[in-house]
Structure 1
Amino acid sequence: MNTVNLDIHSVDSEKIVVQGKSYKNFDEAVKAVLDFLKQRTGFNLWVFSRKVDSNLIVVESNDNSGLIKSGDTFPWADSICARMVAGEGPCFAPILSEVKAYSEIPLVKQMNIQAYVGVPIFLEQDQKLLGTLCGIDFENKSEIIGKEIPIIEIMASLLGAIFMQEQKIIEQSRAIESLRKEAETDQLTGLLNRRGWETRLSKEEARIKRYGTPVAAMIIDLNDLKKINDTEGHEAGDKLIIKAAECLKSNLRSTDIIARIGGDEFAVLVIEVEEREAKVVFERLLSKFNEQNINVAIGMAKHEPTRPLTETIKEADKAMYLMKSRNRQISP
């Protein structure tokens, strides 16, 4: 296990130790690191952020003024971090007005930011950008602070590792929750029933708010179920329901949440998926249903972190009814 000593502070591959205290919990660790960096660098405001789609989501901030709060969302393109990651400006700008790529950003002018330091956080397994660890100040800073960048990079890497480790624990927790869902299971399909769906949504919403998890909701309606029940009997209708459920299970991941919430209606919450990826999932499901001759209407909505998850579900439901209406209009 590798350990790096930072005066009386240290870090290793499993934990961060600050002033003799060990932190394995992300919430505690990130707060300790932001306070440590504030004391060490003199930058007053530190932020651990996550990039999701075209947004920068503030996962944690040590700002007590309310200027930048945990949970705040900013356009990624309008952030200093975006330009730093793109290589358009340095990771340390002690006199920010001297860096045109930064000083011209509207948000910088609005907040009167005078100094910046930040580093990107990449996921080890695929080098995908997770987010950034950055500090800003409203006064110019000394060039000597640039010597602290290696320490900031170590802290960013370790916070990223702890963050992702907690995501793995959350995935394991989701798997355990799935094993405990007997009372919340639809007997015909083995999927969650409406009760189970609502229980899981409330738990996921708390995680989404805390970690900025990108998700998308889908509502699927079996267009022909009533007709099949009426003409071929309920046994044929049940076979169609089971066939549709199997199609969903075989084309979604185990971490995604699937439920039968009505006689002819399914709901899906796709976890850890950005907008482009959500559209790919949507198109794949449509294609797979068509291949199996299952006539469906699907509505999808990408969740925005600024609104309740129930609103996203309603938007997906409206989109489903819109597709259903269009299908009726073009039917012979």
Structure 2
Amino acid sequence: MATLLVDDVVPFEDWPSAARASLAFLHRTVGLDVWVVTEVREPLQVVLHSHPSEVLPPGSSISWDRSFCHSMVSGEGPRVATVAAATPAYRDLETGLPHKVAAYIGVPLVTREGTLFGTLCGLSVRAQPRTLVRFLPVVEMTARMLSTMLPADAAAQRDATSPASAIRVRAT
């Protein structure tokens, strides 16, 4: 009997592992400076996972109402902005990065009940070509898979990442 080679497609151990692998995949495939999975804990948007993590460390947070993702989720801004300065909804918003964001792509993470959990987004300090939009279906499918996995693990994920000492509000 032949040995099956399946090591590269073994299921993820848990939701955080899947989230981290998704961010690394998007960074390799789409590019951009940083990819982030966040949770909305009003009044904050908290970074749960990021890749590369040193760019925007997990535990960092910004004001939810002043974030790119809030504008995207509320329908005020598009899911893809290749030149954020030319997108009225994104011109003066926060990201938690030390530099102004020039390009953005983001999609909501939603529970089975249809409530907003957080977001999956990519940020760049350089404007991007209009062809960035071709990656939106990949980002949407990744977000949908993470959302699908979320319900079984959401409470554990919140508990594992919610110590108040781990949350840092970043000034822009």
Into which bin does the TM-score normalised by the smaller protein fall?
Answer: 0.7 to 0.9
The aligned amino acid for 1:208 is D
CA distance in 2, matches of 1:70, 1:101: 25
Distance 1:18 1:130, change over 3 A: farther
Q: Say if 2:130 is the partner of 1:138.
A: no
How far apart are 1:34 and its partner, in Å? 0.4
Cα deviations across residues 234-263 of structure 1 (Å, max 9, x unaligned)? xxxxxxxxxxxxxxxxxxxxxxxxxxxxxx
Q: Say if 2:24 is the partner of 1:35.
A: yes
Q: Say if 2:60 is the partner of 1:72.
A: yes
Higher gyration radius (CA) = 1
Q: What residue is the counterpart of 2:116 in the other structure? A: 129
CA distance in 1, matches of 2:16, 2:123: 21
CA distance in 1, matches of 2:119, 2:158: 20
Length-normalised TM-score, structure 2 = 0.82
Q: Say if 2:7 is the partner of 1:22.
A: no
How far apart are 1:120 and its partner, in Å? 0.9
Farther off after superposition, 17-26 or 81-90: 17-26
Alignment of 1:90-105 (within 5 A): 90-105=78-93
Distance 1:107 1:42, change over 3 A: closer
Cα deviations across residues 158-202 of structure 1 (Å, max 9, x unaligned)? 11222321236x5xxxxxxxxxxxxxxxxxxxxxxxxxxxxxxxx
CA distance in 2, matches of 1:60, 1:150: 21
How far apart are 1:111 and its partner, in Å? 2.3
**What number of residue pairs does the alignment pair up?**
161
CA distance in 2, matches of 1:123, 1:208: 17
Say which SS state the counterpart of residue 111 (structure 1) adopts.
coil
Q: Is the 8 A contact 2:101 2:125 kept in 1?
A: yes
The aligned amino acid for 2:18 is A
Identity of aligned residues (%): 25
Q: What residue is the counterpart of 2:153 in the other structure? A: 166
Distance 1:23 1:307, change over 3 A: closer
Q: What residue is the counterpart of 1:208 in the other structure? A: 159
Cα deviations across residues 259-293 of structure 1 (Å, max 9, x unaligned)? xxxxxxxxxxxxxxxxxxxxxxxxxxxxxxxxxxx
Alignment of 1:243-282 (within 5 A): none
How far apart are 1:46 and its partner, in Å? 0.4
Farther off after superposition, 50-59 or 101-110: 101-110
RMSD: 2.6
Unaligned residue ranges in structure 2 (runs of 5+):
1-5, 167-172
The aligned amino acid for 1:100 is P
Q: What residue is the counterpart of 1:301 in the other structure? A: none
Cα deviations across residues 106-136 of structure 1 (Å, max 9, x unaligned)? 55795221110001122122x1111110000
How far apart are 1:96 and its partner, in Å? 1.1
CA distance in 1, matches of 2:75, 2:18: 29
Q: Is the 8 A contact 1:49 1:56 kept in 2?
A: yes
Q: What residue is the counterpart of 1:85 in the other structure? A: 73
Q: Is the 8 A contact 1:24 1:162 kept in 2?
A: no
Highest RCO, 1 vs 2 (Cα 8 Å, sep ≥ 6): 2
The aligned amino acid for 1:34 is L
Say which SS state the counterpart of residue 88 (structure 1) adopts.
coil
Q: What residue is the counterpart of 1:119 in the other structure? A: 107
Say which SS state the counterpart of residue 23 (structure 1) adopts.
coil
